[in-house]
């Protein structure tokens, strides 16, 4: 089956849905998502949206906080842009029906998180992402110009690599015309052709054993863009959230940074505070510093976790401000108003991604990226808390504005794109063997490519994962595609890219800490690490 549309959006988080609502004002939009339409990282976002709205705050302060957290690698132009436009994006969400928490005087309640010098976190209790997702999905489903295809998994972007006409290939640089997509229910591969394709596939937390990300976060957009020849950047900067619930049945449930902004304090098993040893902001220090501090304390003590103490705060107010966290912890027998919360760091956010310009354009023609999958330059070497939702909204809006010229081009034509070819493939019986590869990759990434790294650990992980990745690729070429196989292939690709990026950077900066190069090196490494798949250009 062939589906042709003006816009193809891959992913249903805040970046994809907000873009679709704008694009559908004049054009047709197809959205594909590999699971249900509400499965996204956005749905798990607890904290909120960073925006300058308080009288004692300013765009300048927001910019300064972001640059400070980013450890010298932020694109200052992008930082100023997002800080300046974030408040307008909040107003847009309110117009779309998102109900944010308000103070007693009726104004938006503003929280504070680590690294922020002022209260500027707009939130909906402690379920901000879920509130946004619900409101935007409702709008999208009511729009006749938007069709959502659930259980549709993008396999690869359609580019010159798939064309039969060699002469046509050589006449152009890499262009994206959509994607080959697996309908996981009907087990059929379809062609989705689009004038503009937008990647909003989220992050790659599932490359690691412990993560706050949902099961869908397997780096699909990043892997597809790299295979097609797109540039990726700064993948060594994986943010580990300092405080994920430590419980055998907790599945790394995120304990939002807002809880520390509210007054929670980090303590060791014996009840002693420790963050004063690592940063003047103590428990409100930026995430990279807090995560490394916890990692060090655990290695020194041999304990399995540290603790977050909110028992000194008013119990009723705590329940009111953080109802979801209270309810979730209580289900595990932890009353956070009376006892400490056991926490450990977990893979949380990818600060790098598919490299884009200030309009969301990638290095591939007619392919854009927004949200966590993109590297816009906002986050640098470490993301400031709650800047991610602001970035997604601002860049999806800019992407829409920039892409209008492409979509409204009346002479736009698609080349002769072949159907998906499954000749000489078979239904795999060996999947149970390959399923262990996923666990092995995740364990290797956690043990050797985590919060603290060394060249020895990185090279060891690289050797072993490269062998696994080659095995997966051979299996992929001779097997009918399945959702599990596509995810495994993407996880392996992203894992190798993260390791490659980490080995390239011969210093420690932000989220990347290498014991072989423990110091900053501004003279050589005050720059992005950019990788391009040169093998993808062989068609020329």
DSSP 384: P
Token pair 């925006």: residue: 51
In this structure, are strands 188-199 and 178-183 parallel, antiparallel, or unpaired?
antiparallel
455 to each of 343, 402, 449, 468, how far by Cα in Å?
A: 28, 41, 10, 20
Please state the φ and ψ torsions of residue 443, each to the nearest 5 degrees.
-70, -45
Architecture in CATH of 431-522: Up-down Bundle (1.20)
Instruction: Quote the CA–CA distance of 163 and 216 in Å, as a whole number.
Output: 30
Please check whether residue 295 is in contact with residue 245, taking contact to mean a CB–CB distance below 8 angstroms.
Answer: no
Instruction: Quote the CA–CA distance of 406 and 3 in Å, as a whole number.
Output: 18
Instruction: Quote the CA–CA distance of 136 and 479 in Å, as a whole number.
Output: 37
For the chain, the farthest-separated pair of C-alpha atoms sits apart, in whole angstroms, at 71
Token pair, residue 43, equals: 């749905």
Name, in order, each residue with C-beta under 8 angstroms of 510's C-beta and a sequence gap of 6 or more.
69, 70, 71, 73, 237, 288, 351, 380, 381, 382
Instruction: Quote the CA–CA distance of 20 and 403 in Å, as a whole number.
Output: 12
DSSP 210: S
CATH 3.50.50.60 intervals, the chain: 1-42+126-197+351-380+399-410
Residue 153's SS3 state is: strand
Model pLDDT, residue 409: 79
Cite the active site residues: 287
Residue-wise pLDDT for 203-256, tens only, equals: 999 999 889 898 899 999 999 999 999 999 999 999 998 999 998 776 778 898
Angle at the Cα of 346 from the Cα atoms of 342 and 348, rounded to 5 degrees: 130
Name residues of the chain where pLDDT drops below 50.
166, 169, 171, 539-540
CATH 1.20.58.100 intervals, the chain: 431-522
Model pLDDT, residue 539: 45
DSSP states along 393-453: HHHHHHHHHHHHHHHT-TT-----PPPP--TT-B--S-HHHHHHHHHHHHHHHHHHSSSSB
Model pLDDT, residue 433: 65
Name, in order, each residue with C-beta under 8 angstroms of 222's C-beta and a sequence gap of 6 or more.
201, 204, 232, 235, 350, 353, 354, 373, 490, 493, 494, 497
Please check whether residue 210 is in contact with residue 347, taking contact to mean a CB–CB distance below 8 angstroms.
Answer: yes
Instruction: Quote the CA–CA distance of 526 and 508 in Å, as a whole number.
Output: 11
Among the CATH numbers 3.50.50.60, 3.90.25.10, 3.40.50.620, 3.30.1330.60, which is that of 1-42+126-197+351-380+399-410?
3.50.50.60
Residue 164: is it exposed, middle or buried by C-beta count within 10 angstroms (0-12/13-18/19+)? Answer: exposed
DSSP 115: T
Model pLDDT, residue 1: 84
Instruction: Quote the CA–CA distance of 342 and 303 in Å, as a whole number.
Output: 11
Model pLDDT, residue 89: 96
Please check whether residue 155 is in contact with residue 149, taking contact to mean a CB–CB distance below 8 angstroms.
Answer: no
Residue 182's SS3 state is: strand
Model pLDDT, residue 462: 98
Token pair, residue 357, equals: 């310009």
Residue-wise pLDDT for 342-376, tens only, equals: 999 999 999 999 999 999 999 999 999 999 999 99
- For the chain, report the end-to-end CA distance as a whole number of angstroms: 29
Region of residue 72 (left: phi > 0; alpha: psi -120 to 50; beta: else) = left
Model pLDDT, residue 540: 40
Instruction: Give me the CATH code for the 241-347 domain, please.
Output: 3.90.700.10
Name, in order, each residue with C-beta under 8 angstroms of 147's C-beta and a sequence gap of 6 or more.
5, 28, 29, 30, 31
Instruction: Quote the CA–CA distance of 38 and 132 in Å, as a whole number.
Output: 11
Q: Which residues of 184-193 are buried (b: 16+ CB within 10 A; e: fewer)?
A: beeeebbbbb
Q: Rounded to the nearest 10 degrees, what angle do helices 483-504 and 455-477 cross at?
A: 150
Name, in order, each residue with C-beta under 8 angstroms of 171's C-beta and a sequence gap of 6 or more.
none
């Amino acid at each position: 089956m062939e589906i042709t549309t003006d816009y193809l959006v891959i992913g249903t988080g805040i970046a994809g849905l907000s873009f679709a609502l704008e694009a559908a004002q004049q054009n047709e939009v197809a959205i594909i998502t590999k699971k249900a339409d509400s499965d996204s990282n956005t749905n798990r976002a607890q904290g909120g949206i960073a925006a300058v709205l308080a009288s004692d705050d300013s765009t300048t302060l927001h910019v300064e906080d972001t640059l400070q957290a980013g450890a010298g690698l932020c694109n200052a132009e992008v930082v100023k842009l997002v800080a300046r436009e974030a408040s307008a994006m909040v107003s847009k969400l309110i117009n779309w029906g998102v109900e944010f928490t308000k103070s007693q005087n009726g104004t938006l309640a503003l929280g504070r998180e680590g690294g922020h010098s002022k209260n500027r976190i707009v939130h909906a209790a402690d379920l901000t992402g879920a509130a946004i997702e619900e409101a935007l999905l409702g709008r999208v489903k009511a729009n006749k110009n938007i069709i959502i295809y659930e259980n549709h998994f993008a396999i690869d972007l359609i580019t010159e690599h798939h064309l039969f006409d060699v002469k046509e290939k050589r006449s152009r640089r890499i262009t994206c015309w959509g994607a080959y997509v697996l309908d996981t229910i009907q087990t059929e591969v379809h062609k989705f052709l689009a004038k503009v394709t937008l990647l909003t596939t989220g992050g790659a937390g599932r490359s690691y054993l412990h993560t706050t990300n949902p099961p869908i976060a397997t780096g699909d957009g990043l892997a597809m863009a790299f295979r097609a020849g797109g540039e990726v950047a700064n993948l060594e900067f994986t943010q580990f959230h300092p405080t994920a619930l430590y419980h055998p049945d907790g599945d790394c449930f995120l304990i939002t940074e807002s809880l520390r902004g509210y007054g929670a304090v980090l303590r060791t098993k014996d009840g002693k505070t420790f963050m004063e040893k690592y940063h003047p902001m103590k428990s409100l220090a930026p995430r990279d510093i807090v995560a490394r501090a916890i990692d060090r304390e655990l290695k020194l003590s041999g304990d399995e976790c540290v603790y977050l103490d909110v028992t000194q705060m008013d119990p009723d107010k705590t329940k009111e401000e953080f109802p979801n966290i209270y309810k979730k912890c209580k289900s595990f027998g932890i009353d956070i108003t009376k006892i400490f919360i056991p926490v450990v760091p977990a893979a949380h956010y990818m600060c790098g991604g598919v490299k884009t310009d200030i309009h969301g354009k990638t290095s591939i023609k007619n392919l854009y990226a927004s949200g966590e999958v993109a590297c816009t330059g906002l986050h640098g070497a470490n993301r400031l808390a709650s800047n991610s939702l602001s970035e997604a909204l601002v860049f999806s809006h800019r992407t829409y504005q920039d892409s209008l010229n492409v979509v409204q081009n009346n002479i736009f034509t698609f080349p002769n794109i072949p159907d998906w070819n499954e000749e000489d493939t078979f239904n795999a019986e060996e999947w149970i063997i390959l399923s262990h590869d996923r666990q092995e990759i995740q364990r290797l990434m956690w043990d050797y490519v985590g919060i603290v790294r060394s060249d020895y650990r990185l090279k060891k992980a690289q050797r072993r994962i490269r062998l696994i990745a080659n095995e997966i690729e051979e299996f992929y070429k001779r097997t009918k595609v399945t959702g599990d196989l596509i995810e495994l292939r993407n996880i392996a690709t992203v894992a190798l890219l993260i390791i490659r990026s980490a080995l390239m950077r011969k210093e420690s900066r932000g989220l990347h800490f290498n014991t072989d190069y423990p110091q900053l090196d501004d003279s050589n490494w005050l720059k992005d690490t950019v990788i391009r798949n040169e093998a993808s250009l062989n068609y020329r």
